[in-house]
Structure 1
Amino acid sequence: MRLELSRAVQGCRLGLLTGLGNTGQHSLEVPGCLLYTRCATVPHLTQDTLHTLRDLPSVTQVSVDSLAEHHEVLEEFKEGLRKFAGLHDTVLFCSLHDSANSIPAGHVTNKTVSVWGSGGRIELTAARFMAIQAAIQPDFYQSMADGETWQAGTSRKRVRKAVDRTLAHLDECLVLHQKTQVFGHLRDLRMGWIQTEACVIPSCLGCKSRGRNREANR
């Protein structure tokens, strides 16, 4: 994956992400749009209707919260969500939460994050989170994170705590990722190419914590 910049003004960047997906033939404009789904299905559109539309985004978003209750089915299927849901010729990105839903605060710990499914709150350890990712088999995914700093009036201390938690969660996810055969090789966006293939998106980029520099590709 490579970011080709066409313009940068006061920290805002316009460009193109190229080399996406297993084949490396997909690209995404930056800023850009993802194809929104719930449980890997575009709301109100059948697959036949969806593929009659032109200029669909090349990247499809699925979320852990909509799939966490069903990942055992994907584990038994063994061939990933893309084939299970008929998401052909697309790059699959798995986010932690559904971007269309509001998330209750106060449910992140040093060892777990929480997502909300149809049956209520689901607490995820790093091991359970990575088991879900292994069942989904996305092209890239968002790591576990403490993202509860969006509220107005969040203190600097709370932000620092969120950064430390997020980096700790990321370290755990990376260790488990490297041990998970289904992902093949690993790419961590903090350090550029490590090998190739699967990709982890840190939820906190450009941070400095615990005496270590964490920096995303710029």
Structure 2
Amino acid sequence: MQKLTAIGFDADDTLWQNEQFFRLTEERFADLLRDHAGPDHLAERLLEAERRNLGHYGFGIKAFMLSMIETAIDVTDGKVPASIIREIIDAGQEMLAHPIELLPHAREAVELAAISYRVILITKGDLLDQERKLAQSGLGDMFDGVEIVSDKKPQTYVDIFTRHGSGPESAMMVGNSMKSDVRPAIDAGGWGVFVPHGMTWALEHADAPEGHPRFHELADLGEFAALLQQFQGKSSA
């Protein structure tokens, strides 16, 4: 078994809360437009806009704000009041200023990994917002590298784990997204560790690579120590 040398951690909804703030803002958005569209229809239109705009705006709160504004214009046939646009912008700015809430066992997991491995934060999203969240998290000094990327593809992990370690074959990626954290890391030749979150954005869903020897699933990061013990036991056997 190839020795594990580097561990990547996703940020949003793996180390700290994120999606719950998007959900709360969507509820506020639905209330603002209740006279123009039902909540389910509005949610569908918003998701369509987000999917359509990924290539233009990428991921993160600012992209979400722009998709909400576009959806508001569309469902009102261009008649959305400026006051509603203002409230959408205010809601987005509140999200950008929201304090970080670390998830249970996040600090312990990163601290444990940092003892024996190179540890890299690998996250998508807006550069300024992700830097802000990392600074507020108190975890920044534990990482050997921070990679804020436009998307997560197999080549992304090849490049990152080559820069920060001995290649993807000796690296592990830990995250809550099967689509972005687990499957592409495995496709790159590494290990993928799925840590589910109660809320996951619809565009991050994908089938699990069941039965793949490099796939692991944890109930939460409280089980991470036991997983590392397995790796350390196998590498020393």
TM range (shorter): under 0.3
TM-score (norm 1): 0.25
Q: Which has the higher contact order (CA 8 A, sep 6+)?
A: 2
Select the structure that is richer in helix.
Answer: 2
Q: Which structure would you say has the larger Rg?
A: 2
TM-score (norm 2): 0.24
